[in-house]
Amino acid sequence: MKHGWKGVIRLRVEAETMTLYAVTDRAWAKEVTLMEQVKQALKGGITFLQLREKKLSEGEFIKEAREMKKLAAQYQIPFVINDNIKVALEVDADGVHIGQDDMSVEEARKLLGEDKIIGVSAHNVKEALKAQKGGADYLGVGAVCATSTKKDANVVSKEEIKKIKEAVDIPIVAIGGIKKDNIDALTGTGIDGVAVVSAIFGAKDITKDTEVGIQSGSTAADAADSVKELKNSKIKLLPDNVQILNDLGHGLDAAVMDEVVAKYYTKKDAGKYKVLEDSVAKEKYVIGFRKDDKALCNEVVKQLKAMAKDGTLKKISEKWFDDDITTIK
């Protein structure tokens, strides 16, 4: 979990972690367990996880929360509890999400401490500003569309969402009835991400509902064929990685590409993409020489080793990719 400062507002959570915010709903756990659904969602690329339970006993809730927290930690994403500070404290969750009818942000902060995340539901600019002033770390704004999760939720207009985004400095996620076929309606609002319930947990097969973009004819396409988690996904072959990245969030849920390319675009458009730590496959790269160019080959190897030894290769790598991805020793 990243920490930072923006003006006089302390950021306990970065906007990039809001991209795909998943809220659990046990009502959709029919053919598989909720825990299995969460595992699939994590593999599918969610960036934030909220556990929402309204019917479990306290003991069952705590047991489930502990297990779910471990899963979220494996994927290094924030894990918060909906509307139950006692459970959040018991399992040492990353924070809580509270609604307008729950306790105030100030009260929640006193109980949780300064390092925990507090998210707040907001429906208008007034509520958003009040939450930010009270110390909220992010806002869940909605409902964007009619939703089966909260049948009494009032729909918040696109214009109101834009006003809220312009009024606050903390990240906001849109929530409520958001699915693939209506997400484009949020274009231009400036939101940092979307919070989804049924679109993920209502899917018959969460990984199968994931549409993954891969460059046609690339080694990534070959590697994807051997990955178990991707076999159930809908693979879309596109001519180049630029188009794939442009389509992320507009039809595509994820992309598979060379790590070097992915990190380059991540640096170029900071905060726009999230590169997962998991590798689909590993492959070796080589420099080819003609058979009779042994002297040139030896000189190139010599210079590369010298550059690795004096740190030049590392500097070049960090300049372009924000990381040392070199392997030459």
- Reading the chain (329 residues) residue by residue, the pLDDT tens digits are 444 444 444 568 888 889 889 999 888 777 788 999 999 888 878 899 999 998 899 999 999 999 999 999 999 999 999 999 999 999 999 999 999 999 999 999 999 999 999 999 999 999 999 999 999 999 999 988 876 655 556 789 999 999 999 999 999 999 988 887 788 788 889 999 998 887 677 665 655 567 888 888 887 777 777 776 666 677 888 888 888 888 876 778 788 888 777 777 777 776 667 676 666 667 777 889 998 999 999 999 999 999 999 999 999 988 887 778 888 87
Residue 71 corresponds to which tokens in the numbers above?
Answer: 């899963």
Q: Are residues 179 and 109 in the same domain?
A: yes
Tell me the C-alpha distance between 81 and 275, whole Å.
25
The answer to whether position 122 is within a domain reads: yes
Q: Which residues are catalytic?
A: 52, 121, 150
The answer to whether position 275 is within a domain reads: no
The answer to whether position 279 is within a domain reads: no
Domain span including residue 245? 211-268
Provide the pLDDT for residue 6: 43
The answer to whether position 273 is within a domain reads: no
Give the single-character DSSP code of 135.
T
Q: Are residues 181 and 225 in the same domain?
A: no
The answer to whether position 206 is within a domain reads: no
Domain count, the chain: 3
Distances (CA, A) of 75 to 79, 265, 315, 323: 10, 21, 28, 19
**Whether 100 contacts 127, CB under 8 Å:** yes
The answer to whether position 315 is within a domain reads: yes
Segment (H or E) for 80: strand 79-82
Residue 196 identity: V
Q: Are residues 165 and 219 in the same domain?
A: no
The CA angle 178-184-189, to the nearest 5 degrees, is 90
The answer to whether position 278 is within a domain reads: no
